Structure 1
Amino acid sequence: MKSGPIQNLGRRPKDPHGLSLGRKSDENDIEVGAAVRRLRIQRSISQAKLAAALGVTYQQIQKYESGDTRIAVSMLLRIAERLDAPILSLLPHSGASRAALLEEIENTPGARELFTLFKALKEDQQHLVLGLLRSMR
């Protein structure tokens, strides 16, 4: 049997301890993909338009958003930039950070009412409100 690169053709690379380096996506990857989709839709950007801006196909964006394909950190940075969003908004939140966020909302006067009112708006109205808020920053 020959040794060399042909021997491992079609197999995932392994680290020195025998662990697969090209692991499949997991629940974190699914959360990241869902966050990309949510922000893309909020920004009224099509998969095709985002794909063109990133130099990939719209099918690749579909795979990212569904969690079928893991997103490299460098690509995630580019996506965040194209969506005009902080990269942290695309990352999964731990239970502790969610609790801290909820506590911050609870302690911010008017935040709960703002959320309730915003949630009751139609999607196009939500886009208008978000645009107004962004312009006020």
Structure 2
Amino acid sequence: GGLHGVMESIYHAVPMVNLPVFCDHAANSFKAEREGISVSLNFRDLNVESFLAAINRVINDISYKKNVQYRSLLLRDQPEPPLDRALYWVQYVLRHHGASHLQSPAKDLSLTQYFMLDSIMVVAAAVYLLGYLLMICW
């Protein structure tokens, strides 16, 4: 039910039986089921019969295969192969001597600025001071 597993399944046009158990699994499984490329099972209601029924449903119902094949075509339809795109960008960086115009301005910040430690320390000091004053005055 994880995003990478769902994307891999779609890429290879393989229908899924999902068992969401963690983080984004439920949302991914719900969307995959809504698109007709997956059957989702509830972990609490899982038993051998429901598991086998889900597998048989995905195998025997041709609509799951057709839907995932269509999604696979959508995913694979790109103007150029990924290797050519990667090669272009490597050559681009070499042609433009590191392509500094594409680099994040954050690379020039100190660690204190990057992680906003100065701001965090001011807020922490204010909270501490407020707590201290409340303890004294209360």
Same fold (TM over 0.5): no
Which has the larger helix fraction? 2
Asked which structure has the greater CA Rg, the reply is 2
User: TM-score per shorter chain, which class?
Assistant: under 0.3
TM-score by length of 2: 0.19
TM-score by length of 1: 0.19
Structure holding more strand per residue: 2
